[in-house]
A and B are shown apart, each in its own frame.
Chain A
């Protein structure tokens, strides 16, 4: 009862946050509302009995906020971004179009709410019982979610890793990488307060330890490769923030990411596609646990390297060129 009431209050505030995001004038406010929105979502996931998804949402929202803040800073620091934003916010609106859009969307929404709750209820599937009561025998471990994404539906994980590789390649292709921000190419020009440095120095090892814990215990408790990888990536990001030095070899990180991806493909081929861990009585619990921990570790490394390369390439190294450089670049037909 208490959970239900809390969830209803949170859901109302959730919707209010979405409305604030739609009508916010400044982008910084959008980011703050988005952080609150993600936090509420995370809590509701926890109430629904999904701790893995809740932790993933929390870590992802931290990453997304970093991405967005740096993106906004990139164009605010040029001056023209803020001016353009304020000018576009101050422009008069066409209220007829606004009302027409609202009517259209409200009609669609009404149709959905009218039809959906009458057609769908608690979606019971027989797969649920199969997964819940056979995963310990088939795949092993104690966490059904981990058993599904590393055992029953390992194809999903393979293609998800592939998609992460594709995202990294796309970001590298699109980002601006001819020169770094500062002259020596190693030190960030952003000033860092001593207090932040001190706090980060304490927090960094704890984040690393937490990531290790999540990876090693992913098969028996909430956690797993994705969340551990996110924690690893956050550790690397915090390390960059403490030191402010671009001393990590990004090419090696990219190579390692590809290597880990090949391993992620090879391990299930030997473990699952040959039916190795599915034979009850043949594969002992020890083998199953070794497979799960190794796979979680590989997925964690994959996610960590992927997100670290995204962060490093896009946030730390990429920069906005001067206007003359832009003109030159586009005259040469580079874009």
Chain B
């Protein structure tokens, strides 16, 4: 793993993705779970951007139309455009998640998965 190599930008996002996955398994707080889902999304975005660019690449913005650039020193614009969309969609999904959490808290007065599940099964029992 040389310094400035692309491998750094592959291994660390994978690590963060799986740390967040582990946190999703063990965490009991729903707010934390929503934050961890955001973390997973961020790590995937960084991984995706790291595939299309190297450290220190110049942004794909040209002030001079006639100058000839070496394409290997310019960051790939396609992942950036896609990830820009993904980030906006991610925050919209997070807003829905938080609203759902608020609705759940109104009903069960807790933010813990386990008591909420117990209460939900108690609620469903008389009907079935």
Contact B87 A53 (CB under 8 A): yes
Contact A132:B77 (CB < 8 A) given known A74-B102, A116-B10, A156-B85? yes
Report yes or no: A85 in contact with B111, Cβ–Cβ below 8 A: yes
Judge whether B56 is part of the interface by a CB distance below 8 angstroms. Answer: yes
Q: Does A3 contact B (CB under 8 A)?
A: yes
A67/B98 in contact, CB under 8 A: yes
A226 at the interface (CB under 8 A from B): yes
Q: Whole-angstrom distance from the CB of B52 to the nearest CB of chain A?
A: 6
Bound complex: CA of A30 vs CA of B31, how far in Å?
9
Q: How many A-B residue pairs have CB under 8 A?
A: 294
B39: contacting residue among A18, A63, A116, CB under 8 A: A18
In this assembly, does A27 line the interface, its C-beta being within 8 Å of a C-beta of chain B? yes
Number of interface residues of B (CB under 8 A): 87
Is there contact, CB below 8 Å, between A164 and B99?
no
With A48-B50, A117-B11, A163-B92: A175-B81 Cβ-Cβ less than 8 Å: no
Q: Is the CB of B80 within 8 A of A52?
A: yes
Q: Decide: B87 and A60 in contact? CB cutoff 8 A.
A: yes
CB closest chain-B residue, reference A148: B81
A234 vs chain B, min Cβ distance (A): 13
Q: Report the separation of the CA atoms of residues A335 and B82 in the bound assembly, to the nearest whole angstrom.
A: 37
Contact mask for chain B residues 48-78; partner A; CB cutoff 8 A; 1 contact, 0 none: 0111111111111111010001010011111
**With A57-B87, A71-B98 in contact, do A109 and B77 touch (Cβ < 8 Å)?**
no
CB distance from B39 to the nearest CB of A (A): 6
Pairwise interchain contact A21-B114, C-beta atoms closer than 8 A: no
> A7 — which chain B residues lie within 8 A by C-beta?
4, 8-9, 55
Q: Does A317 contact B (CB under 8 A)?
A: no
Contact of A18 (CB < 8 Å), options: B20, B29, B103, B105: B20
Interface residues of chain A: helix, strand, loop or mixed (majority): helix
Nearest CB on B from A59, distance (A):
9
Closest to B123 in A: A330
Chain A residues with CB under 8 Å of B103's CB are 174, 176, 335
Q: How far is the CB of B30 from chain A (nearest CB, A)?
A: 10
A143: B residues at CB distance < 8 A: 60-61
The reply to whether the CB of A280 lies closer than 8 angstroms to some CB of chain B is: no
Measured in the bound complex, the distance between the Cα atoms of B5 and A258 in whole Å is 46
Q: Identify which of residues 291-330 in chain A touch chain B, using a CB-to-CB cut-off of 8 Å.
A: 303, 306-307, 310, 314, 318, 320-321, 323, 326, 330
Known: A53-B83, A120-B10, A335-B107. A18 touches B78 (CB 8 A): no
Question: Contact string, A63-78, partner B, CB cutoff 8 A, digits 1/0?
Answer: 1100110011011001
- Nearest chain-B residue to A82 (Cβ)? B111
Query: Roughly how many angstroms separate A253 CA and B116 CA in the complex, as a whole number?
Result: 36
A222 and B59 in contact (CB under 8 A), knowing A176-B106, A310-B95?
Answer: yes
Q: Name the CB-closest residue of A to B83.
A: A53
Pull 26 A–B residue pairs with CB atoms less than 8 Å apart, ordered by A: A11-B9, A14-B12, A14-B16, A18-B23, A19-B19, A22-B26, A30-B31, A49-B60, A53-B87, A67-B98, A75-B111, A106-B18, A112-B18, A121-B6, A123-B76, A131-B60, A132-B77, A145-B81, A156-B85, A167-B95, A171-B96, A174-B99, A222-B61, A314-B98, A318-B102, A321-B106
Other 16 A-B pairs with CB < 8 A, given A71-B98, A314-B99? A18-B20, A49-B56, A50-B83, A53-B83, A75-B102, A101-B25, A101-B26, A105-B18, A136-B62, A142-B63, A144-B61, A147-B77, A163-B92, A166-B92, A226-B88, A335-B107
Where the two chains meet, the residues of B that have a C-beta atom closer than 8 Å to any C-beta of A are: 3-4, 6-12, 14-16, 18-23, 25-29, 31-32, 34-36, 38-39, 42, 45-46, 49-63, 65, 69, 71, 74-78, 80-85, 87-96, 98-103, 105-107, 109-112, 114-115
